[in-house]
Structure 1
Amino acid sequence: MTWDERQRTIFGARALHRRRELRLSNAELARSAGVSTGVVTKIEHGRPVRDSNLEAVRKALSLELDQADVRYPDEVELVMTAVAEWILSKGSQRHLAALEVIRFIVARGASVHNGTGPESSSSEPEG
């Protein structure tokens, strides 16, 4: 089976999340799956690996592996497309627009992880 970059990235994120959920180190997962730690790292980073290695890690983590299901939800695809179009519309200033998006995402991630973002609040959003 041939996976595209997005599918590998999504599965890799799921594998990383599951490994952490199981409180396994990279080396422990590798040992359990019978693969190298480098293979585990490649999978978690969405890089290509042999199908047999992917299957071994999938089994070790008890994850489902449905290629059709390993995709971004339609809403995420829509937002990604809109942001990409907005950045490209900035012409020669597109690099600054991309940095603006990155800064927003990083700040948003920091606020969620620090307990100051909207998800950490029990109140309803204003509007």
Structure 2
Amino acid sequence: MKYTPTTTKRDLRIIGEYFATQRKLLGLRVSDVAKRAGISETTVTNLEHGRPVRSDALITVARILQLADYMVKAADPYSHDLGMVRAAQILPKRVRQ
């Protein structure tokens, strides 16, 4: 099995807890979310317990739970301090190693 850093495991667990809380606030059962997302109940449960799932399943569930827009916004590099500072500079076509 592939190594997963401890901080990543913690983040997955926290996101899972947030998803479970949001699902309950919306009055949805795991089976409701799974059916709407076209995925198995096991995948939804794995997500809520902080286990790795496919990214498309994560985003689909986030959309059903009305959280996807927040996730997309959080990923916007220009919404953070560093991105705003660097916005005035020209972005490189690629990053060399």
* Band of TM-score, shorter chain: 0.5 to 0.7
User: When the two structures are superposed, what TM-score results if normalisation uses the length of structure 1?
Assistant: 0.48
Identity of aligned residues (%): 36
The aligned counterpart of 1:19 is 23
Listed one character per residue, the Cα deviations across residues 56-97 of structure 1 (whole Å, up to 9, x for unaligned) are: 101110113246xxxxxxxxxxxxxxxxxxxxxxxxxxxxxx
Q: Pick from 52, 56, 65: which aligns with 1:52?
A: 56
3-state DSSP of counterpart to 2:16: helix
Structure 1 residue identity aligned to 2:16: G
Provide the residue aligned with 1:43 in structure 2.
Answer: 47
Per the normalisation by structure 2, the TM-score is: 0.62
Per-residue CA distance 1:8-34 (angstroms, 9 max, x = gap):
111100000000001111000111112
Unaligned runs of 5+ in 1: 68-127
CA RMSD of aligned residues (A): 1.9
> Offset of 1:45 from its aligned partner?
0.1
Aligned partner of 1:8 among 9, 12, 33: 12
Rg larger for:
1
Across the two proteins, how many residue pairs are aligned to each other?
Answer: 66
Between the aligned partners of 1:56 and 1:33, the Cα distance in structure 2 is 6
Cα distance in 2 for residues equivalent to 1:42 and 1:58: 14
Which consecutive aligned stretches of 4+ in structure 1 deviate over 6 angstroms post-superposition? none
Write the distance in 2 (CA, Å) between the matches of 1:56 and 1:36.
Answer: 12
Give the corresponding residue for 1:29. 33
User: What displacement does 1:51 show?
Assistant: 0.5
| Structure 2 unmatched ranges of 5 or more | 76-97
